[in-house]
Amino acid sequence: MFLNQTSQYALRAMAGLIVADQNGPMKSKDLAQTTEIPSHYLSKIMRKMVEAGFVESKKGHGGGFILKKPLEQIRIIDVLNAAGFDMDEQPCVFGWDQCSDCNPCPLHPVWKRLKESFNEWAFNTTMEDIRKENRLLIDMKFSQKS
Amino acid sequence: MFLNQTSQYALRAMAGLIVADQNGPMKSKDLAQTTEIPSHYLSKIMRKMVEAGFVESKKGHGGGFILKKPLEQIRIIDVLNAAGFDMDEQPCVFGWDQCSDCNPCPLHPVWKRLKESFNEWAFNTTMEDIRKENRLLIDMKFSQKS
DNA sequence: TATTCAATAGACTTGTGAATCTATTGAAAT
DNA sequence: ATTTCAATAGATTCACAAGTCTATTGAATA
């Protein structure tokens, strides 16, 4: 796929967390179950979300993960960056790293448009938008190919 | 990058072969050198090109690879397919395999446009076009990231 | 205090595409 | 015929992302 597995998981995990919307913290194990992400691997990803300041983690009895920031302040692009993904680092269609506006590969224009659209979307969409339209991203757990 | 390493190599190898334009067959080793593709790996890819009928291979003294078809009859899309790449199999931006016109992911339209552009280009561009504009694809050997 | 629960760190394993190595086959040249 | 050259097959290795396992830490409950 386009995003790597890890960043896709990150999006899904965050989406899963906000849609759950329970009163207390959500356990990693439960989140893993609803999102269908391998639980130990999810833990690692959630650690990154904690470090980025999106969620808080509580150890011990009754612990788990809980949102720390208002949803409107968590942009998709931030989640992706926290997971280590950066669209601008993605090489062009041909993997040609010289590809640029002055020295374009045959598909440079389309590629550029895709990147721009992606970035614009990721920048302007927050987790609040995701919550409102809860079809998005949650359903992504049905995806298969890597 | 977008294409996998193997299909990028395939394009570059074919481009390298036609641009070389020498009288006799071109040795795998020489082709590997000009295209900067690991030579043993190139052999395998060339095998696929032989099987696809684009080139002929001659063993032994003075052997190597030589074009079998007229350049106008070798389309980029055929080379890619022979190398095992199929744009239509590429999952959507989110790796969401349910993504379709009726059930689109947030970036479905842009993604679709990219795929279409790519396919159109790959279908309508032949190796003859590559030869004419010999900047293309050859320079790709400078690419780095995988 | 003792127990139980759940995140965490970090070592370890797995899976896969890419790359390498070795032995074999087939063809030209001498 | 023998030698030499170059593609080929297929086993093996490598690199890296993804996934797993185990022991530890910290917090709540009893």
State the pTM of this model: 0.84
CA–CA distance, B50 with A45 (Å, rounded to integer): 45
pLDDT along chain B (146 residues), means of 10: 87 86 86 92 97 96 94 94 93 78 81 86 88 61 42
Residue of A nearest to B146 (CA): A95
Question: What is the structure's pLDDT at B55?
Answer: 96
CB contact under 8 A, A96 and B125: no
Q: DSSP letter at B57? A: E
Domain boundaries of chain B, sorted by first residue: 5-85+126-142
CA–CA distance, B48 with B134 (Å, rounded to integer): 23
Question: What is the structure's pLDDT at A109?
Answer: 82
Question: What is the structure's pLDDT at A62?
Answer: 92
Question: Token digits for A60?
Answer: 């011990």
**CB contacts, 8 Å: A96 with chain B:** 139-140, 142-143
Q: What are phi and psi of B116, to 5 degrees?
A: -60, -45
- What CATH number belongs to B5-85+126-142? 1.10.10.10
- For residue B41, which nucleotide's C1' is closest to its Cα? C19
Strands B55-58 and A64-67: unpaired
Q: Which nucleotides of C are covered by protein (CB under 7 A)?
A: 4-10, 17-22, 25-29
| C-alpha angle B33-B45-B90 in degrees, rounded to nearest 5 | 120
CA–CA distance, A1 with A94 (Å, rounded to integer): 16
For nucleic chain C, give residues with Cβ below 7 angstroms from it.
A 25-29, 40, 43-44, 46-47, 50, 57-65; B 4-6, 9, 38-41, 44, 58-63, 146
Are B127 and B12 in contact by the 8 Å Cβ rule? The answer is no
Which of B20-35 are b and which e, b meaning 16 or more Cβ less than 10 Å from the residue's Cβ? eeeeebbebebbbebb
**B113: CB within 7 A of chain D nucleic strand:** no
Which CATH code of 1.10.10.10, 3.30.360.10, 1.10.287.130, 3.30.43.10 fits the domain covering A5-86+126-139?
Answer: 1.10.10.10
Amino acid type, B125: T
Strand D-proximal residues of A, range 75-114, CB below 7 A, are none
Using 50 as the pLDDT threshold, list the residues of chain A that sit under it. 141-146
Burial of B141 (0-12, 13-18, 19+ CB in 10 A): middle
CA–CA distance, A143 with B65 (Å, rounded to integer): 42
Return the sign of the alpha-carbon dihedral for residues A7, A134, A132, A69: negative
First to last CA, chain B: 6
